Amino acid sequence: MQLLNESYNRLSLTVVMLFFRSRIRWRKKEKREKGRMWKMRGGFPKVEAPRRGAI
């Protein structure tokens, strides 16, 4: 029973880590794309809009 519990904990931990890593990667990609959009328009805005749906 102890072994099963440990393996389950490890599994959930890896899942959480993967989830957070993918979120960070997606955040960075989103930021890059926004930066490209602003460059095309000509310069960044002075105040960044508040992040929508930030958890």
Residues 37 and 43 sit within 8 Å (Cβ to Cβ):
no
- The better pLDDT of the pair 20, 44 is held by 20
Please name which of 15, 12, 20, 24 lies closest in space to residue 32, comparing C-alpha atoms.
24
- pLDDT, residue 40, reads 66
Q: How far apart are CA 18 and CA 20, in angstroms?
A: 6
State how far the Cα of 21 lies from the Cα of 34, in Å rounded to an integer: 20
DSSP letter at 46 equals S
What is the distance between the terminal CA atoms of the chain, rounded to a whole angstrom?
35
Residue 14: pLDDT band (50, 70, 90) is very high
Tell me the domain boundaries of the chain. Answer: 1-34
pTM for this structure?
0.40
